Amino acid sequence: MKRNHPLFCSCLLRPCRSHRSHSWLQRTLFALTLLLVLPSLGGAGGALRAADGWPSQYKGVMLQGFYWDSYDATNWNVLKSQAQELGQYFSLVWLPQSANCGGQSMGYDDLYWFSNYNSSFGTEQELRSLIKAFRDNGIGTIADVVVNHRKSNNGWFGFPTETYKGTTYTMSSTDVCSNDDNGKAKTEADRLGVSLGNRDTGEGWDGMRDLDHTSTNVQNTVKAYLKMLLEDLGYVGFRYDMVKGYSGSYTKQYNEYSNPTYSVGECWDGTQTIRNWIDATEKTSAAFDFQFRYTVRNAANNGQWNRLAQQNDGNWPLVSSNYQNGSYRRLAVTFVENHDTERRSNAAQDPLKKDTLAANAYLLAMPGTPCIFLTHWIDCKQALKAMIDVRRLVGIHNESTYTNRIPNTSVTSVAAYESKGTDGSLLVVLGNLKDYEPIASQWVKVLSGHHYAYYLQPSMNIAWVDCASGHYEKSFQATLTAVSDQAGAQLVYTLDGSTPSASNGTRCASGTRVTIPAEKTTTLKVGLLVGSAVSSIQTRQYEVSETKPDEVVVPDFCTREADEVCAFFEAPLTWTQTIACWAWTDSPADNFTYSQRKNWPGVDCTYLGTAQNGKKVWKWKWDGTKQNNTSATQPAKIIFSNAGSPQTADLAFTNGGYYTVDGLQAQVATGIDELQAEPTPSRNGREGIYDLSGRKISESSTLPSLQGGDGGRLVLPKGIYIINGRKVVF
C-alpha cells in the first residue's frame, strides 16, 4: 500500500492409528460420520483443511509484476505477451488489485469487489485471459487483496451494492470502525444520524473507510470476495495489503475459509511485530521480510557488507539463522525493493541506491521465497535469469539453511554465505571479491559481476553455461564451465540443438567461451564429458537480433491514401474515452481541427482496432477545413487526448505519423508513392516510365512535370504509372 497517501498446519479427520482393524460396521459408521462432518469444515467451498500459509521447502521464485504508475508497462495484455518467458523463471507473479476503483488507480483505493473488473490495467476479459496464460505457462497468479479499508462512492458511507451468484453484498455505516479517520467518521455519522461499528482492531488509517472486521457482514463479504478471486477469476493466493490495520485473527479466518495455496501479508514493521502477526494468523499466512530488505539496503548503500550479519534497528531478518525460531523461515517472503520503497517521482522513499545486482544475488542465494521487483527484472533480466538458474540447480528452498563464511564482523569490504539446497550448496560472495577467494578445490565460480560471484561445489558434477536463455541485441560469448571433481572431465557442446555426445559436438575444456552469432536463433546444448559418458546436459535458447522485443509495431490496418493528411495514435490502456485530436499551425495561425469542435479538445478520432500489445489505435484525418483558411496545407503541431484529459505533449506533426504518448514512433506509407520532382534512380533496372500493363512510355527518369507539353516535355493523362520501378499517382 502506498505509505505517503494521497498517496503491504492443518489437520485432517482420520481414524485413530492405534486401532488398525475395524469391523465392517465400524468402518461404515466412520465413513458415514466423515460424509456428515467434512462438508461443514470448509464452509461453502467444502475445503478439507485449513490454509497452510506457504508450502514447506518451496523452491519457487516470485515476481512483483508492477511498479508505481506502471499502467502501460504492466497492462494485462502486455503481461500476457510475456507469459512464456516469465514462466521459465517465476512460479508466482503478484498483480496489483485488479478491480475497478472509479478512476485511474493502482488499486489501493479499492471500490468494487464483485461486479466491475475493468480496471486501469485492462478489462475483465483481458484479466481472465492473462491469468489463464500464466497458468498455462506454470505461473500462479497472486491477487493484491485490500480489505483493511474501502473507498465509498456515494457519500461517506455509500459503498457499491453488488450481486454475485444470486447473493447481494453491500456495506453500511455499521461496517465502518467507530474511530475511523481519527474521529471524522463519527462526526459524519452524528451529522447523518447513523450508527458506526466497533473500534478498529488494528492501526487506523486516515484516508478511506476502515472496515470493522468484527462485523459479521464484513466477514461474510470478504470471504465471498476471496472465494471469487480463487474459484472464479483463477488466482492461486493473496498478498494482503496493510495487515496491521486489523487483527491477524481475521486473516486466519479468511484463509481457513477460502484456503489459498499462498498467502503473504504486508506487515511493515520490525521482526517481532511480524512474528506476532504470523502467530495471530496461526501460521495460515506468510509475511514479507522487511528486515531482510533493510539489512540488504544498508549493506549495499553504504558498501559495508558485514551489515548483512547484523541486526537492523534491533531486528534480525525473519529468515536469519541467528533468529531464535527457524520455523518462521518457511513463512518469509524476501525482497530488496518494492513499489513503496523505491524512489518515485512523487516521493523519495528509502531506495536501494546502488549494487542492484549484488543485492539480488544475495536475495536469490538465501532461504525464504524471493520476490523480484519488476524494475530490477526489466533492467537486469539476463543476469537475474542466470542467478535463478543457479538457485534451481542447487535446489535452494524457503527452509534452506545457510552459514556465514566470514564471521569476523570487523570485515566490511566483503561478505560470503553458503546456502544448502536439496542438490548441493551455493556460495555467494558480495563486495570486493578480491578480499575473499574460496579454495579452488572446494568451489568453482559459475557467475560473477559487479560486487557479486556465485560458486558451486565440484561434487555436483554438472555442466554450466553462464548466459541464460533469452533475447540479446548483439553477438556475445557464453562461458562453459565443468563443475566436477572427476579427473579428466571435459565439456562437449553443440550449437544446432542436437544432443551432445562423445561422438557428436565440439569437445572443450572448462572455461571455454563460445561465440553466439548475431541475427539468428541458436540452441546451445552442453554436457559434462567424463570418458565417453555425457551427463548433465544444459540447454540454452538464444535469440540475437538488433530489434528489441518491445519495439512499437504499426498494425496492418493503419493505411493512408496518397492525398490524405492524417495521423495515427496508439492510446494507453487507461485512456478509455474517445481519443480527441487538436492540430494547428502557429505561423500562419490556423486550426486544422475546427469543423467539429471549435474549442479544446478538437475533433474525435476514428477507432481502427487493437495493436498486438493490446492498445487501441485511432486515426485522425483532416476533413479539409481550417479556421482561418490560410495557405498552410497541413498542421505543424498535434496533440492527442483522452477526450480532453490526460493529453500528450505538443508533438511535431508528420503526415501519416504513428504516435504514442512518447511521441512519433513510425510513419505509415501510402499504398501508392507520391510523385517526387526528382525521382531517385531505380535499383531494379526499371528506369523510366511504364504504364500498369508494363508498356514503357519514356526513358526519362528526371521529370519535373508530366503534363503541359511545353519545351518538348512528355504529356500524360492523369493516372497511375510505374516510375523507376515504383508506383506513383499523377
pLDDT tens-digit map of 70-102? 898 899 999 999 999 999 999 999 999 999 999
| Confidence check: pLDDT of 342 > 90 | no
| Confidence check: pLDDT of 41 > 70 | no
Q: Which amino acid is at 41?
A: L
pTM: 0.73
Q: What is the DSSP string of 184-197?
A: HHHHHHHHHT----
Q: For the chain, give the percent of residues with pLDDT over 70.
A: 82
Residue reference for cell 485449513: 50
119-123: long-range contacts at Cβ-Cβ below 8 A with a sequence spacing of 24 or more?
120/71, 120/573, 120/574, 121/66, 121/71, 121/74, 121/75, 121/76, 121/95, 121/96, 121/573, 122/75, 122/76, 122/77, 122/573, 122/614, 123/76
Q: How far is it, in rounded angstroms, from Cα 265 to Cα 544?
A: 41
pLDDT for residue 236? 98
Helix (H, G, I), strand (E, B) or coil at 59: coil
350-385 pLDDT, tens digit each: 788 889 999 999 999 999 999 999 999 988 999 999
- Phi/psi region, residue 44 (left: phi>0; alpha: psi -120 to 50; beta: rest), is alpha
Instruction: Check the CA dihedral 320-321-326-329 and report its sign.
Output: positive
Stronger pLDDT, 198 or 473, i.e. the higher one: 198
| Confidence check: pLDDT of 106 > 90 | yes
| Angle made by CA atoms 314, 316, 321, in degrees to the nearest 5 | 145
Exposure string of 257-285, with b = 16+ CB inside 10 Å and e = fewer, is bbbbbbbbbbbbbbbeebbebbebbbbbb
pLDDT-derived band at 13 (thresholds 50, 70, 90) equals very low
Mean of pLDDT values over 515-527? 95
Stronger pLDDT, 279 or 713, i.e. the higher one: 279
Work out the mean pLDDT of the chain and round it to a whole number. 85
Neighbouring-strand partners of residue 370: 334
Stronger pLDDT, 338 or 311, i.e. the higher one: 338
Instruction: Check the CA dihedral 611-613-616-617 and report its sign.
Output: negative
Identify the burial level of 346 via C-beta atoms within 10 angstroms of its C-beta, where 0-12 means exposed, 13-18 middle and 19 or more buried.
exposed
Beta pairing, strands 209-210 & 167-169: unpaired
207-217 pLDDT, tens digit each: 899 999 999 99
What stretch of H or E contains 689? strand 689-690
What stretch of H or E contains 333? strand 332-334
pLDDT for residue 205? 84
| Confidence check: pLDDT of 401 > 90 | yes
Name residues whose C-beta falls within 8 Å of residue 692's C-beta, 6 or more positions apart in sequence: 720, 721, 722
pLDDT for residue 723? 57
Mean of pLDDT values over 611-638? 92
pLDDT-derived band at 408 (thresholds 50, 70, 90) equals confident
Three cell numbers written together for 596? 467539429
Q: How far is it, in rounded angstroms, from Cα 38 to Cα 52?
A: 18
Mean of pLDDT values over 617-645? 92
Q: Which amino acid is at 49?
A: R
Please report the beta strands in 138-194, taking only residues with DSSP state E, as ranges in sequence order: 140-145, 149-150, 162-164, 167-169
Q: How far is it, in rounded angstroms, from Cα 627 to Cα 422?
A: 75
Q: How far is it, in rounded angstroms, from Cα 223 to Cα 525?
A: 49
Neighbouring-strand partners of residue 521: 543
pLDDT for residue 345? 55
pLDDT-derived band at 233 (thresholds 50, 70, 90) equals very high
Helix (H, G, I), strand (E, B) or coil at 125: helix
Contact 571, 659 (CB under 8 A): no
pLDDT for residue 688? 60
Q: How far is it, in rounded angstroms, from Cα 436 to Cα 432?
A: 8
pLDDT for residue 710? 38
Q: In what order do the strands lie in the sheet with 476-483?
A: 462-465, 476-483, 513-516
| Confidence check: pLDDT of 700 > 80 | no
DSSP conformation class of 16: -
Q: How far is it, in rounded angstroms, from Cα 487 to Cα 472?
A: 35
Helix (H, G, I), strand (E, B) or coil at 353: coil
Mean of pLDDT values over 240-249? 98
The Cα-based distances of 317 to 136, 175, 328, 331 in angstroms read: 35, 36, 10, 12
Lowest mean pLDDT among 441-455, 555-569, 669-683: 669-683
